[in-house]
Structure 1
Amino acid sequence: MSTIQVRFLIDREQRRVVFAQAGSDFVDLLFSFLILPLGRIARLLSKRSGLGSLSSLYESVERLDAKYLQTEACRDMLLNPWSAAAELCEALKIKGIHELNPREFYTCSQEDCLIQSICYYTYSSKCLCSRCGKLMDRAQQWKKSITDDGGVFLTHTTDFIITDDLQITLPSFREGLSLFKQLQIKDSSVLEEQIIEFSTKKALKLLGRSFVSKNALTEVCFPDFCVQTSGDFSLSCKEDIVADEAKNDQINLELILNKNDNKVLYAEVGDDFVNQLFSFLTFPLGSALKFLSNTTFSLGGCIQNLYSSVESMSLDYFRLEICRNMLLTPVLPTFYRIKNQILKLEEMKSTTLKNFSCAKCFSDNRSKSCASTKCIHGITETEYIEQNPKLSAKSFGANDGGFVVSARRFMVTDNLHISPLSLISAACKETNLPISDLIRREVCLDRTRVLSLLTAMLTSKATLTDVFSPKPKPQRRSQNNYA
């Protein structure tokens, strides 16, 4: 198993990391967190993540009956979301965080489909062929198109300084002195160098702690130094975001609350709200942080410092401008966008492949290319078109772009557990409250609340309450003269 050596400067007296110094292979690993879809983060960290209601939302997809999904491939898209930059991360030194084989794709194995001049491919192992309706289960691989030219996102030209809260800068005496002053370190005798081996396990732990801690490196690499802490988060928002909201980009839902404390017990919602929630699982982390960077929303940990480090770093240290753009503005894979997504997110264009071997002969492992010599099937050129995983032979051309079927009602609990709406389940819900204590409230989901929802999902177990029924902030006492 590959590891990366990282040099740490620690303060023995204060029992904390002052900073780490590492090459681009380690910083590439940290920056690669930004292209991870939130659903993959939930999968990697599992229930140990401590990321608010994200795990509950992920488990809802696992448990939801297939009849409520457009296709079984929709479940696969949410539980195993693809990254549009996955192929680039093959060159990372530490494996196991991104897709194991980002070049793997699937085609139909039925002969009637294989001998056509136009064939279909998909990256989802659960996708149905839009021509015959059978499972596209023949696994194949694209040829590797990237070369090892010295890095993933960054060049191999220099080392970097990584602070305890994951701010990344170039090494300089000015930065060092500023950091010593900030940490109130006056005597170098309290400083000590240590070398830590970073493995996949430690990298995943760092990813998890970065969402909730301001001292992520200390907590991961020197757990005996400190007690793990969790940061606070804020759901306030800039006024200009509210002013720019489009009234037609809104979703209505009904809340059932405890009138005594205004805590949300559950919400009755339509497929539009569920699609908004499920789409969060497909969001690259960098896209979520980009949305939040334009507001006063905060996750409370230090993960946002990774994003701001990319923003502030000179383009000279990136291999290509496109590498920097992948981190700052990651896009969704093809067909992952939903039709009425309130937070607009770009989607990469579908790729059509030509001059590929005849699909039938290719599947029979014949070595001769049918593109250059006419084969027994009479095919001289085959086009491979990417199949929309949300479509099946029955629904081809009729999908509204969502993951769940339309005109359905669902019940969403405070921690974002989603299930089909059932009056029996709602009546038997273990609230331990008299019915007279329950109240109904109609609310509207707009852009501001979607941003709030995204933030609360990653930080709170009471997501709906924090977004739709937050506790009023305590009023400051007046400092007038007392009589």
Structure 2
Amino acid sequence: MAAAEEVKFSLKVVMIKGRNKVLYAEIDSDFADVILSFLTFPLGTIARLFIKHYGNTPILGSLNSLYAGLFNLDGSHFGTEAGRLMLLNPRNASQFLCSTLKLQIDDTPPIKFFACRTHKCVSVYYKMRCLCPDSTINEIWIDDFFQYLFRSGNGSVFTAKTTTFVLTDDLEMLINSPASIFQILRRNFIEDANTLEEKTLIVGLKEIMELLKASLVSKTPLTDMVLPTRTMAATLDGRTKYIAPAKYESDALPRTRTQTSQNMSSNSKKINVKAFVQKSSSRATTRLLEPLLPQGYLSLNRIFSLKEELPPSHYKGILGPLPIPAKSWIDPKGKGSFVKEARTLFVVTDDLVVSTPSSISIISTLNQMKIPISDVEERELGIGMEEASSILQASLTSTYALTNGLKPFLKRQPKQEK
């Protein structure tokens, strides 16, 4: 496979004259698969890729500082070194599927599986030790995890190989058809085709990284990729205005195809068509819409309702597939949590740098921020799903993640008596 820097895509982009705005782009299935793979990336991977590509300049809210703080945090506070590596280099549950993409952004090493000589203990990390008399670790081949590579004979990943799409400025992906084009034109109140112009762009790794970055902080990521010098500065300066309290109602979800079609005029003529869907690719689509964590990533101390993949049930032996008992899997974190259970206190700064506290560091922080001690007060706040979701949302768009994330909830709390 060609190196990521060598892969190029040709895009036909339709722009609105005089407005420096992209209306849509025509893309093939290879490019569509790369864009859809964004949905499979862990946030830790995105932070690491941004640091690697852009340096230490804050790109995405507080994620850079959160990742850098974890990198500098002493390993003695973690249950195992493997647990720390899981956070610094998180695995993508769809990694084997994404390994067939034409352009791979994620350079995380592929998952490997190891077992002791008796095969009574299995791990995804080489240095994990077990309690067996012979704890020599050897790599084993897992059949189950490679079934996605060979699910069809046409080389598709998430989309059908022969399908083309139109990608709107806010990254909505539609089938390339006259109906989709007219839908986009109506949405943008385009009446005269003479106001549009076409451009052909050659897009590579640099542009894909710009698109990934813009997709997280902007409502016009396609325009930001095509015209980065004009649009991104304004986008990054004003991105905090998009922060809003977390929503859980069903109307916060994106419109489905059925909902979109119901919004079209009821007076339009209709014809009946038969749609043929590739059955073998539906499992890949589920991985985008309902992603799971890789096996072993769920922590006992979690707030979000997350699910992880079931571990592989067989490995490839000399005489064929051999079963792996569920109890054989070693928890790479040690005892179910990333951080040791010892009652160690941590300090989290506004931009989510996690560190162990000391009197000197606290005073130094106050001095750096030029905050008088008399202007500091203590508040106690319970963190649940709503608060955690608000902090997560703020961390993507602001370097003041705690301030912006907790502001709505701190207003509700009465000040403590002195």
TM over 0.5: yes
Equivalent residue, structure 2, for 1:457: 395
Q: Are 1:213 and 1:229, in contact at CA under 8 Å, matched by a contact in 2?
A: no
Equivalent residue for 1:79, pick from 81, 88, 102? 88
Deviation at 1:199, TM superposition (A): 1.8
Aligned counterpart for 1:387 among listed residues 317, 330, 337: 330
C-alpha contact (below 8 Å) 1:21/1:160 kept by paired residues: yes
Judged with a 3 Å threshold, the aligned counterparts in structure 2 of structure 1 residues 137 and 76 are, in CA distance, closer, same or farther, namely: farther
Match of 2:22 in 1: 17
Question: Displacement, 1:237?
Answer: 4.2
Alignment partner, residue 288 of structure 2: 327
Deviations 1:88-138 (A, max 9, x none): 11111112x235553x41536xxxx42x2524231x35x421237999876
More helix by share: 2
Cα–Cα, structure 1 residues 354 and 323, in superposed 2: closer, same or farther, change >3 Å?
A: closer
1:311–1:48 Cα change, 3 Å: farther
How far 1:309 moved relative to its partner? 8.0
* Per-residue deviation, 1:222: 3.0
Please tell me whether residue 5 in structure 1 is matched to residue 5 in structure 2: no
User: For residues 26-41 of structure 1, what are the structure 2 equivalents within 5 Å?
Assistant: 26-41=31-46
TM-score normalised by L of structure 1: 0.69
**Match 1:61 to one of 49, 70, 87:** 70
Give 1:28 deviation, angstroms.
1.2
Question: 415, 430, 433: which is aligned to 2:351?
Answer: 415
Q: Which residue of 1 aligns with 2:338?
A: 403
Give 1:50's aligned residue.
Answer: 59
Q: CA deviation at 1:355?
A: 5.7
When structure 1 is superposed on structure 2, of 425-434 and 202-211 the one drifting more is 425-434
- SS of 2:31's partner is helix
Distance 2:185 2:197 in 1: 14
Q: Offset of 1:209 from its aligned partner?
A: 0.8
The answer to whether 1:128 aligns with 2:64 is no
Deviations along 1:33-53, one digit per CA (max 9) or x if unpaired, are 001111001111124562111
Match of 1:188 among 181, 186, 193: 193
SS in 2 for 1:409: coil
The match for 2:302 is 341
Aligned to 1:363: none
CA distance in 1, matches of 2:280, 2:331: 32
Q: Pick the aligned partner of 1:172 from 172, 177, 184.
A: 177
Query: For residue 364 of structure 2, what is the aligned residue in structure 1?
Result: 428
Q: Provide the residue aligned with 1:469 in structure 2.
A: 407
Distance 1:317 1:10, change over 3 A: farther
Choose between structure 1 and 2: higher strand proportion.
1
Q: What's the % identity of the aligned pairs?
A: 30
How far did residue 182 of structure 1 move? 3.6
What residue is the counterpart of 1:210 in the other structure? 215
CA distance in 1, matches of 2:200, 2:329: 46
- Say if 2:159 is the partner of 1:150: no
> 215-224 vs 412-421, which deviates more?
215-224
Distance, in Å, in 2 between the alignment partners of 1:334 and 1:174 is 42
Task: Give structure 1 stretches of 5+ with no counterpart.
Answer: 242-292, 297-303, 357-368, 373-379, 392-398, 474-483
Looking at structure 2, the residues matched to 28 and 167 of structure 1 have their Cα atoms a distance apart, in angstroms, of: 13
Q: Once superposed, what is the RMSD of the aligned Cα atoms? A: 3.4
User: How far apart are the structure 1 equivalents of 2:58 and 2:171?
Assistant: 18
* CA–CA distance in structure 1, aligned partners of residues 213 and 258 of structure 2: 20
Residue matched to 1:287: none
- Residues matched between the structures, number: 375
Aligned to 2:112: 105
Alpha-carbon distance between aligned partners in 1 of 2:399 and 2:182, rounded to the nearest angstrom: 40
Indicate conservation of the 8 Å contact 1:162/1:168, yes or no: yes
C-alpha distance in 2 between matches for 1:64 and 1:316: 49
Q: Taking structure 2 as the reference length, what is the TM-score of the superposition?
A: 0.79
Q: Classify the secondary structure of the residue corresponding to 1:20.
A: strand
Q: C-alpha separation between the residues in 1 aligned to 2:13 and 2:278?
A: 22
Amino acid at match of 2:89: N
Unaligned runs of 5+ in 2: 1-5, 262-274, 412-418
Matched residue type, 1:434 = P
1:192-251 CA-to-partner distances (Å, cap 9, x unmatched) read 22222222222121000111112211221233564643243233245xx5xxxxxxxxxx
| 1:293-325: CA deviation from partner (whole Å, max 9, x where unpaired) | 8586xxxxxxx97x9789989993785222221
